Amino acid sequence: MRGTQFHRMKWLLDFLKGKWLGHPLHPILVHVPMAMWPGALIFDLLSRWNTGGNAMVRLSFYAIAFGLAAALLAVPTGLLDWSGIKKEKPAWKIGLYHMALNLLVALLFAINLALRWPTFREATDVNRTQLLLSAIGTALLIGSAYLGGMMTYTYGISVARMSKKKWRKIAAAGGANLPPE
């Protein structure tokens, strides 16, 4: 029984890490809220400018909802990626800030969605509170995305899944001019 549970857990972890894709799953999933929530802000602005009426209110509502659903899928994949970073590395702390900001952003958009729920079917524009929540949430999301990019592009988190030695062998086999170790 324990062996079966272990294999199920390993399968789930491998799935969430994106091993079946050959690269991490988290970066794929985070693009959905990164598109939906700023999109909701645009729809909110259009509704405030009396463009599109209830269609813009509904589009914004559904964009927020879809972004929240995708964020729920992105959380476990991000946690797994972050758990693989050694605590003494600078990327670990950046990842902590990235996660905290994302949690705050998701909370703001969840509150925003709840405030819209009673009226989204008939409202022709969003109120100032809803617009403000979209704007603050989007600004914080952009800041968090910057931190996520820093983790990837500055510190190589989830980029090099092989050891330096393996990368050097591959480069040497390809005829690369390698610097001495």
pLDDT at 23: 76
How far apart, in Å, are the Cα atoms of 162 and each of 42, 92, 168? 41, 19, 10
User: How far apart, in whole angstroms, are the C-alpha atoms of residue 148 and residue 146?
Assistant: 5
pLDDT in tens, 59-99: 999 999 999 999 999 999 999 889 889 999 999 999 999 99
* Residue type for position 161: R
pLDDT at 19: 81
pLDDT in tens, the chain (181 residues): 566 777 777 887 887 788 888 778 888 899 999 999 999 999 999 999 999 999 999 999 999 999 999 999 999 999 988 988 999 999 999 999 999 999 999 999 999 999 999 999 999 999 999 999 999 999 999 999 999 999 988 888 876 555 667 777 877 888 888 778 7
User: How far apart, in whole angstroms, are the C-alpha atoms of residue 13 and residue 76?
Assistant: 10
Give 149-180 as a 3 state SS string. Answer: HHHHHHCCCCCCCCCHHHHHHHHHHCCCCCCC
pLDDT at 153: 86
User: How far apart, in whole angstroms, are the C-alpha atoms of residue 81 and residue 59?
Assistant: 32
CB proximity list for 35: less than 8 A, separation 6 or greater: 67
